[in-house]
Structure 1
């Protein structure tokens, strides 16, 4: 018996610490349930009368570990904030655009948005070429209200675009070959009222304006442009039967407050400054000094453990003690810092034009709307406010108004071009810059 006990103890000590804690907790709970029985004692009786306590399913759910999560994230006052730029530039609702980077596969691109591997496998099954994405190619897709893939568009080259539409039992592929003539054109203008209306007068379409804003999003706040600021845009447009079929932004120059800002497209489909340095401002992976245990993962089809209803979990829950400093993961502007019924004390930060992060259920807020924050700045202290049954931090990342998995999302990085790629880019810059003249 002693030999068995020693063997059990040795095996227990060799387990990883999280496993030891979990096993120990389960043992304690099991013993407590076995020993303890609630009873009502009546004086004068020789034995107590045991009272049976019934627990219904809803009460049982609140005892689960997953119950220390937000009870409901779909609160009307928790919508993503928008501004006049978002409202002026028209875009297809729910569409996400992505430029293929080195090492990307279709599965790691789509899976970060919660798209099932089964759907990804169906796409690859009908078109095996999807296994070989190339650097700089463009992907865009839309989702159904249930988070399923509705349509995927793969811009393989300037000439060919493939589209995959959902049908009853999978997806249907169609291919479009463009045969027009590509011509470069420079469009210049001066800001008089808003940038959007000024760019439209210069001859840019809504899609082209959106691309210009995205290219300069890390350098320029377009809401703060002043009358008299100037811009020059180099577009490559395909003409077919006298009409523009599609276009590609090659470079942009914007002069504001006497300073020039540049964004020039490289062969990888991304934009850099004149020296080949990256324009994006890097993000931290976690909103805390150290990484804490994940108590609930990102899940767009999550079954709420308390209500028993389907309620998408649009972020990740970290099991952090109350009072833990919460950090901004990247440079940006605080657009919301308030208390709501669902999210408790929460903060929303806009990073550039495409990225938004949200931090919920905090005990205390340390910022206010309009504050500029840097990566690593303290924005609050963690807690358990709002619809939450235990201390934790709920953290979300949104790209183009769409929630993504914070643990796997491709985050902006400040890397620039090096070696041969940089030499080729600088040669391209020498051709583009003379064309970006300001009137």
Structure 2
């Protein structure tokens, strides 16, 4: 046996080196195959099972919806700071208003606020004339606690207002005709302790003060009006039995630090300056330089898949890499810039008195509260802070303190009158201007 082993070793050593390497490798591989014993599964043997219990919050974190809080109302410290103008000229609680403009339909107006298409269809069925909204008409509505449409009011003209109330079988329409006389009233005054108090002393109602602020909100900051500043307002009021039933702002002039600001109402219900240029400045549709994929849509009726309760998603989530520059969509003032619970690093910008935008889950803030920003300015870098399971930007748009769909909302745009509309408007301005004197 030893002679055989020596003969094999001698023969192996006499082989060229490449052959020795190849033969050694084959030998090792053969031995490995010989000793390998694969595991054979026997179904009759008891398997080893490990049960892992997940909390409800952990279950939610595995769902696609978990990119944004789905069972948590906005925290109080995430609310937009209020001021004197909000406290004293706010609309009736729960009432939302909208002035019809070019291209609007009943569906496009209500759907951007998240009102169910079923309600809109039933509403249109109750009055076919609702399919023919006209520029300048005003819609206002209230919602139930569940977010369903409760009542809609349509001011068709100065004379007629139609109201639609929810019933068990849809919506019931009622009509009210006003028979009063419309009279123009010129009111003027000087600011004392504040604009609101001074305007009311001059004879304006809370609703009329609100209409003045809304008309001028994108031109100037009413909080900067101080003692000695002047104002003049022309209201058209419907008088019935000696009382004003309703009113409409026709023109306003404000003098701040010796500089005059004007706004005049046109036939389309919007306000323009003395030359017919629109007062609203255009907004960007998206808060980034390019459009990113929408990972979660606006849904005021979103259900929590675990609890089954309504947990509204009041904005849109854009999936984007961390560090993406976040832009202000319009001119405004930063009212919030801080870290805030589930929202993470969070910025809120107020654009006049009507519009507010909010940006959440940011990585870095580039602005401070009270800072003025222009459309397109960088306000933050996107991130993954707060209650978030992946890098994204949560973006919200609020109109009159009501969340709307940022992708479909009718946002301000720079515009002006032209042609016959401008000619008629300038003739109207010429008639109204003398009624806005301070003396």
Which TM class, normalised by the smaller chain length? 0.7 to 0.9
Residues 121 and 308 from structure 1, CA distance in 2 versus in 1: closer, same or farther, beyond 3 angstroms? Answer: closer
Instruction: Report the structure number with the largest CA radius of gyration.
Output: 2
Distance 1:422 1:371 in 2: 36
Is the alpha carbon distance of 1:55 and 1:308 closer, same or farther for their aligned partners in structure 2, counting shifts above 3 Å? Answer: farther
Q: 1:427 & 1:257 partners in 2: Cα distance? A: 29
Per-residue displacement from partner, 1:357-415 (whole Å, max 9, x unpaired)? 00001011111100000001111111111111111100000000000000000000110
After TM superposition, list the pairs within 5 Å mapping 1:339-354 onto structure 2. 339-354=339-354
State the Cα distance separating 1:145 from its structure 2 match.
2.3
Paired residues of 2:331 and 2:351 also in contact (CA < 8 A): yes
Partner of 1:166: 166
Distance in 2 separating the partners of 1:390 and 1:307? 23
Write the distance in 2 (CA, Å) between the matches of 1:104 and 1:402. 19
1:146 aligns with 2:112: no
RMSD: 1.8
Structure 1 residue 68: Cα displacement = 2.1
Describe the shift of the 1:268–1:148 C-alpha distance in structure 2 as closer, same or farther (beyond 3 A).
Answer: same
Normalised by the length of structure 2, the TM-score is: 0.87
Please state if 1:392 is matched with 2:376.
no
Q: Secondary structure of the residue that 1:147 maps to in structure 2?
A: coil
Please say if residues 80 and 336 of structure 2, whose CA atoms lie closer than 8 Å, have aligned partners that are also in contact. no
| TM-score (norm. length: structure 1) | 0.87
1:257 match? 257
Partner Cα distance (2:145, 2:366) in 1: 35
Structure 2 equivalent of residue 248 of structure 1: 248
| Number of the residue aligned with 2:304 | 304
Q: Which residue in the other structure is 1:225 paired with?
A: 225
Structure 1 residues 61 and 55: alpha-carbon distance in aligned structure 2, compared to 1, 3 A threshold: farther
1:186 matched residue in structure 2: 186
SS of the counterpart of 1:122? helix
1:2-401 → structure 2 map (5 Å cutoff): 46=39, 51=49, 53=51, 58=56, 59-71=58-70, 72-305=72-305, 309-401=309-401
Secondary structure of the 2:197 match is helix
Native 8 Å contact 2:179 2:240 kept in 1: yes
Gaps in structure 1 of 5+ consecutive residues: 1-43
Rounded to whole Å, the distance in 2 between the matches of 1:203 and 1:142 is 29
Distance between the aligned counterparts of 1:418 and 1:193, measured in 2? 41
Q: Which moved more, 1:84-93 or 1:230-239?
A: 84-93
| Number of aligned residue pairs | 396
8 Å contact kept, 1:230–1:438 = yes
Aligned-partner Cα distance in 2 for 1:47–1:346: 57
Runs (4+) of structure 1 exceeding 6 A deviation are none
